[in-house]
Amino acid sequence: MNKASEVSHAHEVKVEDVTPLSILSPDGEIINEDLMPDLSDDDLKEIMRRMVFTRTWDERAVNLGRQSRLGFYAPVSGQEASMIGSEYALDKEDFICPGYRDIPQLVWHGLPLYQAFLYSRGHQHGGQIPEGVNVLMPQIIIGAQILHATGIGMAFKKKGQKNVVITYTGDGGSSEGDFYEGLNFAGVFKLPVIYFVQNNGYAITTPFAKQTAAASIAHKSVAAGISGVQIDGMDVLAVIKAVRDAAEKGRSGEGATLIEALTYRFRPHSMSDDASKYRTKEEESEWAAKDPIERFRKFLNKKGLWSEEDDARVKEEAKAAVAEHIKKAEKIEKMTVPGLIDSMFETTPPHLEEQKAYYKS
């Protein structure tokens, strides 16, 4: 072996395979009692309410998209544990930087549902975040929200605020340059950022095995010098535990955390996608048995905290809310080019005044 080979071999890093953090079995049994997050019965019921509400809202939104009453819509069924659990683990003063699929987190953090519908319809009012709601509008550019979150984390640190910021992407987003830049920056400056990757196993049609040679996305935290954990993303209790731990590290000055949530979206990537071309029925059946809502329902049933009547009530509540908010969104005055231009500038540049005049004529 020559000298160059000796040096290369001596610096080879070997990391043990990670084991996903899990608290709740698919049968609804607690398998890691010591890791159980501190949640009251009311907390548990509210988490379930939000998950059932979100599944019902998602089903209605898919139908609204087929009726052309929504524009671009990215389904979420199957990912309720990672979405609802992660937001529930935060404080309202904490910040959320979402990707385009992460609408539920925004709504449960305070964004009115009708504005979420307006965002889908391409209306600028969908991105006019109400005062006191600590979210950015969904980012359609894959991975761009990671840099936004990193900047907000730096602002929190400079101001001495004990807040954290969470940002979401999928497994495909973890292949973007923005992902590595964000993690590296957060590692250097020990920023209070939670990088939450919902690993659905596919970047649209590309399977995870063809996206990276890394054993897991969680392993990528090592190079950035930040904490990393892989969790069962179909287990809402594991999600809450991991995000609470990450938030505590951020608030205490220990720095950022990369969370890889292993999850599975039951519907296609978007309404223009045909998942049957790249996913097998066997794979779908295997993940269906891990349904996050069914798993949590079994747990709550055993504790006497949830019933079929509760389920039916929440589903009707969600259907009524969707009907009310889509009607509200449809009543908002339609956008115009002059109106869009006026909203972008305090003093409109002359060349855009000319464009406004053209569209008004």
Contacts with 255 (C-beta within 8 Å, 6 or more apart), sequence order: 186, 187, 190, 191, 192, 226, 227, 249
Q: Is 84 helix (H, G, I), strand (E, B) or coil?
A: helix
Active-site position among 121, 269, 295, 297? 269
Contact 85, 44 (CB under 8 A): no
Among positive and negative, which fits the CA dihedral 42, 48, 54, 60? negative
Contacts of 7 (CB under 8 A, 6+ apart): none
**278 catalytic residue (yes or no):** yes
Alpha helices (H) along the chain: 3-10, 41-66, 80-88, 103-108, 113-120, 144-159, 177-189, 221-224, 236-251, 281-288, 292-302, 308-331, 337-344, 350-360
**Residue 208 and residue 239 in contact, taking contact as beta carbons nearer than 8 Å:** no
* Known active-site residue 49: no
User: Could you give the CA distance from residue 157 to residue 152 in angstroms, rounded to a whole number?
Assistant: 9
Calpha distance 151→59 (Å, rounded):
35
Residues facing 227 on adjacent strands: 257
**Distance from C-alpha of 342 to C-alpha of 336, rounded to nearest angstrom:** 10
Is residue 265 among the annotated active site residues? yes
Which of the residues are catalytic? Answer: 265, 269, 278
